[in-house]
Amino acid sequence: MPKIKILSADVANKIAAGEVVERPASVVKELIENAIDAESTSIRVEIRAGGKRLIRVSDNGTGMQREDALLALERHATSKVGRIEDLERIHTFGFRGEALASIASVSQFELLTRTADALEGTKVDVDGGVFRSVQESGCSPGTHMSINNLFHNVPARLKFLKTDTTEMNHITNQVTWAALAHPKIHFSLTHNGRSILDVRSCDSYLERARLLYGREFAENLIEFTEELPDLKMYGLLGKPEFTKSNREYQLFFLNQRPIRSRIIGAALTEALDAMVAKDRQPVALLFLTLEPETVDVNVHPAKIEVRFRNERTIYSGVVRMLRDAIHRAKYIPKIETPIEPTQSDGDVESRDVSLPQRVSTPGSLPVAGRRQQTTPIAQAHRSQTSVGTPQETEDNDQEAINASGTQMPSTPTEIVVQPPQQRMPDDANLSLLDFENVQLKTNLFKTYIVVEAGDRIFFIDQHVAAERVLYERFVNQVETDGIPVQGLLLPVTLEVTPQQLGTLKIHADIFKKLGFDLEEFGGNTILIRAIPSPLPTRVAAQAVTDLLDKLPEAPHTDVQIPEAMDSALITLACKSAVKAGDTLDTKEMMNLIKELSEAKLPFNCPHSRPIIVEMGRDELERRFHR
Ligand code: ADP
Ligand code: MG
């Protein structure tokens, strides 16, 4: 007897349901996506018992005719993808044509729908994948899907559902993300008749964020738009002092679809590394727009994960755009030391009160945010399937700690990183870059140049500043006349490993462009005959070794070549720059400040360490109780 059987449609649907319908929140997600695809401007979600008893999603979109309503419940029934080529350019949220069939196979399902021009609507009932009835029925234009008793016929699945509260948190997350991604659509969500959220249609993501997370949250965001040839990003980035202890408020959207992405998460960390204290996480809502051809959204049944055709380009593009945005926002880390209020000194205390940012240690939630922890959205955000949250369970645990308040740092001296525009007139930032208005004061520990500008004191790290200036100069020179070269009277010999020699051959071009003249001298020895002129001769050999170690042993793609060059320029800048501990005279310091004031990105070195730290006169005055 043959062993292979073709599965019945019912079994196939149930299997598909296992992938698409993990829990009530996945149903909500699919139904919302369908409603959005149907051009709805208002979507209502009603839940009972965490979605176990009822999930109802009503929209005012196009609705369906009777034939379509029946077809919609068939497996692989979709109005959205007709040919395989369409998969390359997916503009709709749905395309697999299996959501409704899957959901209907594991629930008591009712579809009620009417197109705007039809006199009557259509009602279709399906129970556990078995068609029950179709009839005419009155309803408002649009589609109303009711899912009763989800998984009633799949006890194994039912067993895995969590408490109503947990399931509801997941649902709230889904609705929140959809609402963030589609500010123009009105969304409402109720649980057991109680309103959980209700956000009116609005014009901007920022306004939507305000409606969802509250005024204080929105006020702590910096809004930006950046654009590269194939990649656009709109972002809402938390101000540096408004950070979190986990990634729960890092939400990424790709072409308006909430996605999970390690690549974007890593890019965010990389770009903000210098700005955010080590144990803190930035708040970031990032909305990316990419040509649909360059991304595969069909790698995950619920389409939460995506595959970028070129991950490295996305990564470096996102890092670059974030850095540009930060640069434009003039993010300078600021030294501020929370002072423990002295009981006897009413004056100091009252100042504390008038400076709320100072009291809030880095990343502690603003008052509204903390209050929100008890609201469903905040609860929902504590739940496990946070999109864009790579370490889900860890985050969850951490958040539990947060909620109990134990994560609050209480050390009296805490460096608060904060953008200067908080308490300064906008043009004040520019004075930093306005070389004429900067006075050189001194150098501390042969490492930090101290300058005064108006009411502000800046500490500039001489090594990273020089590194930044040299890096920008090198980038420029490589693109134009080349980096100037100095011939060595006595060539320097260098022993290398066979691997390094291999790397050298692969990247001979880069070495030449940097201004090195290297010659194989037999065996594993090379001769350094000329070096880029800003590089001190004494570090020539070390610079070559470092470069050989930094450069990839074999570039895999063309894209990696500019990246390899960039990393080579960074290494060269680092090796050529003055070090901490080097003595600089006044002229050298002035030159450095001048060049820094002309740099494109004066706030971070190419490794993204901060170059400048600011302290206000007010900080000193506070310290001295003036
Ligand atoms: P997909 O979204 O992948 O096409 P679904 O199973 O989710 O597959 O839906 C099947 C079809 O049913 C859709 O292609 C669409 O034509 C129709 N449909 C589903 N939901 C709605 C809705 N809310 N309004 C109008 N049409 C809908
Ligand atoms: Mg769908």
Q: What is the pLDDT of residues 370-382, one digit of tens each?
A: 333 333 344 434 3
Integer angstrom CA distances of residue 95 from 77, 80, 99, 463: 9, 6, 9, 54
DSSP 207: H
Query: pLDDT tens digits, residue range 568-600?
Result: 898 899 999 999 999 999 999 999 998 888 887
Predicted confidence (pLDDT) at residue 419 exceeds the cutoff of 80: no
114 ligand 1 Cβ < 6 A: no
> Quick one: pLDDT at residue 483?
93
CA 285 – ligand 1 centroid, Å: 28
- Tell which wins on pLDDT, 124 or 352: 124
Give me the residues near ligand 2 (ion), CB cutoff below 5 Å. Answer: 34, 94, 99
Q: Average pLDDT for residues 139-163, to the nearest whole number? A: 94
CA of 97 to the centre of ligand 2 (A): 6
What's the sign of the alpha-carbon dihedral 354, 357, 361, 367? positive
Average pLDDT of every residue of the chain = 79
The residue-averaged pLDDT of 340-357 equals 36
**Stronger pLDDT, 63 or 522, i.e. the higher one:** 63
Q: Which of 29, 31, 34, 106 to mutate to test the pocket of ligand 1 (most atoms within 8 A of CB)?
A: 34
The atom of ligand 1 lying closest to the CA of 102 is: 6
Least reliable range by pLDDT among 77-91, 405-419, 492-506, 512-526:
405-419
Residue 565: per-residue pLDDT: 84
- 80 CB less than 6 Å from ligand 1? yes
* Residue 278 structure tokens: 């080590």
Q: Does 585 or 437 have the greater pLDDT score? A: 585
pLDDT of residue 111: 97
SS3 162: coil
240-293 tens-digit pLDDT: 778 887 888 999 999 998 998 989 999 998 888 767 766 778 899 999 999 888
Query: What pLDDT does residue 615 have?
Result: 85
In this structure, which residue's CA is closest to atom 17 in ligand 1?
Answer: 72
pLDDT given for residue 81 in this prediction: 61
How many Å lie between the centroid of ligand 1 and the Cα of residue 185? Answer: 18
Distance 181 CA to ligand 1 centre (A): 20
Choose the residue to mutate in 27, 40, 78, 297 for probing ligand 1, maximizing ligand atoms within 8 Å of C-beta: 78
Under 8 Å between Cβ of 548 and 496: yes
d(CA 475, CA 477): 6
| Ligand 1: nearest atom to the Cα of 59 | 23
Query: What is the distance between the alpha carbons of residues 477 and 401, in angstroms, rounded to a whole number?
Result: 51
Q: Could you report the per-residue pLDDT of 87-105, keeping only the tens digit for each? A: 555 567 666 678 899 999 9
| 186-197 pLDDT tens trace | 999 999 999 999
Q: Identify the pLDDT of residue 67.
A: 93
Enter the pTM of the model: 0.62
Q: Which segments of 80-153 are extended strands (E)?
A: 108-114, 121-127, 130-137, 142-148
| The pairing of beta strand 295-296 with beta strand 307-308 | antiparallel
Which of 361, 512, 334, 477 has its CA nearest to residue 418?
Answer: 334
Edge-first strand listing for the sheet containing 221-228: 221-228, 231-238, 284-290, 250-254, 257-259
| Nearest 10 degrees: Cα torsion 302, 53, 383, 225 | 50
**What share of the chain in percent tops pLDDT 90?**
46
Atom of ligand 1 nearest to the CA of 72: 12
- Indicate whether 184 pLDDT > 90: yes
Tell me which of 514 and 414 has the higher pLDDT.
514
Q: How crowded is residue 431: how many other Cβ atoms within 10 Å of its Cβ?
A: 16
User: Could you tell me which residue, 609 or 527, shows the higher pLDDT?
Assistant: 527
Angle at which helices 540-550 and 498-506 pack, to 10 degrees?
80
Pseudo-torsion of CA 251, 255, 257, 262, nearest 10°? -50
Q: Which of 56-60, 158-162, 495-499 has the highest mean pLDDT?
A: 56-60
| Partners of residue 237 on adjacent β-strands | 222, 284
Among the listed residues 600, 595, 601, 597, the one whose alpha carbon sits nearest the alpha carbon of residue 578: 595
Grade residue 426 by pLDDT with cuts at 50, 70 and 90: very low
User: Angle CA(509)–CA(512)–CA(516) in degrees, nearest 5?
Assistant: 140
